[in-house]
Chain A
Amino acid sequence: MTKTITFTLNGEIRSFSVSADEKLIDLLRRHDYKGVKWGCGEGSCGACTVLIDAKTAYSCITYAFLADGKDVWTIEGIGSIDSPHPIQKALIDEGAVQCGFCIPGMVLSAKALFDKNSTPNKDAIKEYMDGNLCRCTGYEKIYTALQKVSASNEEVSND
């Protein structure tokens, strides 16, 4: 049985036909939002992270119908090649992207963190990002990049 749900996706109101047991990741990827990555499939690795009402969620264990009426963001809605989001730019500048598979989830988690606290310290960054695994970088470059975003935000707020 399929039903229609409606939610805001990357700032645009969209309606989708979903089956009851469809997970949000499957719905999104079915509609070509391929930045949402299938990793562990059990809510551990963070590759499938999306934002729902400004909070991170693992789309691989979120039933699609739970997104009905919500505000959902995927990596496709954050920055662009020509104008990357400051978090994306910092990750590139710091060389924090290797295979890149975890990066969409990393960027969305970091965005949720910075939207809540524009100047987190390293401990706050590590704590908030612990739901996103990276098997390439050893995390340090990612943390360094995010600390630079934090420092940059602090400079702006001090100006």
Chain B
Amino acid sequence: MRIIDFKKPKNLDEVYSMASELGEKAIIMSGGTSFQFLKEDTERIAIDVNSAIPKGINTDKSFFKIGATTTIADLQEYSAYGWVLNNVANKLSTQPIRNMSTLGGNVARIFPWSDFPVALLALDAQINVSDETEKKNIPKPIYSSKLEQKCQSSSEHSTSHNKNGFAYKAEAFFKQQPAHLLKNKTLITSIEVPIVLNGSGFAYHKEVRTSGGFSTLTVAAYLKYNKNIITDVKIAAGAALGLPVRLKAIEEALMEKSANNISFEEIVPVLIHHYPWKGKEGGSNEYAQHLAETIIIDVLKESLLDAEGGTK
């Protein structure tokens, strides 16, 4: 890909106007770090959205709302009760990359080794997008509780639409390459993640061969329990499974089981074969599966510890 021109819109109106004018030649950029991985042989015009889409983190009663152009370094440095994405951010590549990359960019075009999609899947995050027809209502830095309820009540947790644009639950958003999903003049404006309260926990592990290297296996888990029974669990994995996915078979088997390490150690080994683990960087598939089994159990144990208040 060769960038032949660049535009710096100041607001979404300008973004859409430029995108309409440029058509297929337009490519949205924020940090631009992923561009080096794009092998397409085309000439593109970059639309730098850093001044058009908000950055920063706002909190609501149960959510953090993150502007799409917020850098990974900002997520790393942010601190608040129930904020867990710093644990994900500080494992992403190296400090200069974290300073340059944005959350929106990290989820807009995903790769097998992408970090944040795995965490956002486990957190059942919501990705808010706007499209040209909704541009006047976006990006208000507010929450839409009605929208959230609508998404949560949907059995597929797929998409919702209201006056603020569209919202995708992470699972629906990452079912395909988001770059394709977002082709039709839609833009990620913000991402909402839950505040991880007492009684619920989150853990994340990224397996790498060198400190700044790409993941060979990434696992994240969110777990909630009540009276020692697991009432909600979401597990996601990436890298060794191709694009990041939720591990629904393991989740379903763990639901309403005792919230203890024995449950994890009994259930995960039985169901690990359910997924087509692929070895990375010279590792065999068998090794990847073994690694996955061990790491999923560890991550579940850590999420339980977090839920018990042990890491909070």
Interface size class of A (residues with CB under 8 A): 20 to 34
Quick check: is A38 within 8 A (CB to CB) of the other chain?
no
**Contact of A57 with B96 at beta-carbon distance under 8 Å, contacts A43-B33, A43-B36 already known:** yes
Inter-subunit contact B6/A3 (CB<8 Å): yes
Quick check: is B2 within 8 A (CB to CB) of the other chain?
yes
Q: Which residues of B contact A109 (CB under 8 A)?
A: 95-96
Residue of B nearest to A131 (CB): B94
User: Chain A CB within 10 Å — which of B90, B96, B99, B211 has the most?
Assistant: B96
Inter-subunit contact A49/B48 (CB<8 Å): no
Quote the shortest CB–CB distance from A157 to chain B (angstroms).
21
User: Chain A CB within 10 Å — which of B2, B8, B73 has the most?
Assistant: B8
Question: Contact flags (1/0) for A127-147 with B, using CB distance below 8 Å?
Answer: 110110000000000000000
**Contact of A58 with B96 at beta-carbon distance under 8 Å, contacts A20-B3, A21-B3, A65-B6 already known:** yes
Inter-subunit contact A20/B46 (CB<8 Å): yes
A-B contact count (CB 8 A): 71
Q: Which residues of A contact B48 (CB under 8 A)?
A: 65-66
Q: Which residues of A contact B212 (CB under 8 A)?
A: 44, 130-131
User: Chain A CB within 10 Å — which of B3, B29, B95, B211 has the most?
Assistant: B95
Question: Contact flags (1/0) for A38-71 with B, using CB distance below 8 Å?
Answer: 0000111010010010011110011101101000
Residue of B nearest to A64 (CB): B6
Residue of A nearest to B99 (CB): A55
Quick check: is A156 within 8 A (CB to CB) of the other chain?
no
Q: Which residues of A contact B94 (CB under 8 A)?
A: 44, 46, 130-131
Inter-subunit contact A20/B95 (CB<8 Å): no
B1-51 interface (Cβ within 8 A of A): 2-6, 8, 29, 32-33, 35-36, 45-46, 48
Please pick, from A1, A44, A130, the residue contacting B95 in the complex, using a CB distance under 8 A.
Answer: A130
Residue of B nearest to A108 (CB): B96
Inter-subunit contact B95/A62 (CB<8 Å): no
Quick check: is B100 within 8 A (CB to CB) of the other chain?
yes
Measured between alpha carbons, how far is A46 from B100 in the docked complex, in Å? 13
Measured between alpha carbons, how far is A52 from B99 in the docked complex, in Å? 9
Q: Which residues of A contact B33 (CB under 8 A)?
A: 43, 61
Inter-subunit contact A43/B73 (CB<8 Å): no
Quote the shortest CB–CB distance from B8 to chain A (angstroms).
7
Inter-subunit contact A21/B99 (CB<8 Å): no
Q: Which residues of B contact A57 (CB under 8 A)?
A: 96, 99-100
Please pick, from B2, B5, B45, B95, the residue contacting A131 in the complex, using a CB distance under 8 A.
Answer: B95
Q: Which residues of B contact A58 (CB under 8 A)?
A: 96-97, 100
Inter-subunit contact B97/A131 (CB<8 Å): yes
Inter-subunit contact B96/A63 (CB<8 Å): no
**Contact of A68 with B8 at beta-carbon distance under 8 Å, contacts A57-B100, A130-B211 already known:** yes
Measured between alpha carbons, how far is A127 from B5 in the docked complex, in Å? 36
Question: Contact flags (1/0) for B68-93 with A, using CB distance below 8 Å?
Answer: 00000100000000000000001001
Inter-subunit contact B96/A1 (CB<8 Å): no
Q: Which residues of B contact A44 (CB under 8 A)?
A: 94, 212
Q: Would you list 9 pairs from A and B whose C-beta atoms are within 8 A, ordered by A residue? A: A20-B4, A57-B100, A58-B100, A61-B32, A63-B29, A109-B96, A131-B94, A131-B96, A131-B97
Chain B residues within 8 Å of A, Cβ to Cβ: 2-6, 8, 29, 32-33, 35-36, 45-46, 48, 73, 90, 93-97, 99-100, 211-212
Q: A127-B95, A131-B94 are in contact. List 14 more A-B contacts (CB 8 A).
A: A3-B5, A3-B6, A20-B45, A55-B96, A57-B100, A58-B97, A61-B100, A65-B46, A68-B8, A109-B95, A112-B95, A127-B90, A130-B94, A130-B212
Give the 4 A-B CB pairs with smallest separation, nearest first: A131-B94, A55-B99, A56-B96, A21-B3
